[in-house]
Amino acid sequence: MKGFAVMRIIRSVSSMQRLARRWQRQGVRVGLVPTMGYLHEGHLSLVRRARSLAGKLGKVVVSIYVNPTQFGPNEDFSRYPRDFARDTAMCRAAGVDVVFAPSNDQMYPADGERNFSTYVTEETLSRGMEGVTRPTHFRGVTTIVAKLFNIVQPGWAVFGAKDYQQAAIVRRMVRDLNFPLRIIVAPTLRESDGLAMSSRNKYLAGDLRLQARVLSNSLRKAQALVRESRSALGSTALKKELKRFIEREPAARLDYVEFFDPQTLIPMPKVTRGAHMALAVFVGKTRLLDNARL
């Protein structure tokens, strides 16, 4: 991008921390976009948001790191899509200043007495939804995000709204542990057919890609039912109706659907306008997430 300096790729924690401290001494504004790579237009929308906040004099850091601690047993850590050359080219074109791409040894040192043994846990917002299905997932998320905040020292960090529960948990962690930064949550970007953009969409071959539209169609169906109802809808009955709707697709299997208060994430037994809905669905072997306000 014209007007921006040459992008740097930094792989060591100590080098990134030295640069972050130098920026702090110089009063440079820094924004962070944490990613696991295999970037798509949704990620680039987060980069653009960070770039607009930083301005020409500020810095934008994109972290690219497939974090092993947020994957459970038998999940897709080993086959999670990776294409570092493509990712860095996209970052360079988007005006990113630094790509921070550490190794596992950098982030989780294992060297005798230095073995990594400290984790960050959030104990309220993480109980439901993803926390039930993937009980160790958010411990891995909060730990790696806290480490990135300490390493990069950003003034703000940009997350996507597709992972609604994750964004809420990161916000709570920042508040509870007094991290001196602001969390920005940018809207979910969607494909032309409504499917939320995700790195895991790469797994959807042939007819699975068409069937995956059932997630966004379910959101629209729930929104219409709530909008057209003259009274609150019972969440149990609504969940059953959506399960039937989703599993009419031969390769789709509902993991969960939940209706909750958008601030507290507390489940709502009666669903009205203003509630939030989130769901996880297996389409073939690929597990996809989506959410929307009703």
Q: Is residue 163 part of a domain?
A: yes
Which residue among the candidates 40, 43, 137, 276 is catalytic per the annotation? 43
Please say if the pLDDT value at position 90 is more than 80.
Answer: yes
Please say if the pLDDT value at position 1 is more than 70.
Answer: no
Q: What percent of the chain has pLDDT over 70?
A: 97
Read off the pLDDT of each residue in 213-230 and give the average, rounded to a whole number.
96
Please say if the pLDDT value at position 235 is more than 70.
Answer: yes
Q: What does the pLDDT look like over 31-48, one tens digit per residue?
A: 999 999 999 999 999 999
3 state SS of 135: coil
Residues 170 and 60 in one domain: yes
Read off the pLDDT of each residue in 55-71 and give the average, rounded to a whole number.
96
Q: Are strands 252-260 and 182-186 parallel, antiparallel or unpaired?
A: unpaired
Query: Total structural domains in the chain?
Result: 2
Residues 143 and 229 in one domain: no
Q: pTM of the entire structure?
A: 0.94
Q: Which of 165, 186, 207 is the last residue of a domain?
A: 186
pLDDT score at 33: 98
* Cβ proximity of 91 and 39 under 8 Å: yes
| Domain span at 165 | 8-186
* Burial of 158 (C-beta count, 10 Å sphere; 0-12/13-18/19+): buried
The length of the chain is 294
Lookup: tokens for 105: 């040894």
For 78, the enclosing helix (H) or strand (E) is none
Cβ contacts of residue 127 below 8 Å, gap of 6+? none
pLDDT score at 197: 97
- 43: annotated active-site residue: yes
For 259, the enclosing helix (H) or strand (E) is strand 252-260
Read off the pLDDT of each residue in 249-266 and give the average, rounded to a whole number.
97
Residues 20 and 74 in one domain: yes
Residues 230 and 181 in one domain: no
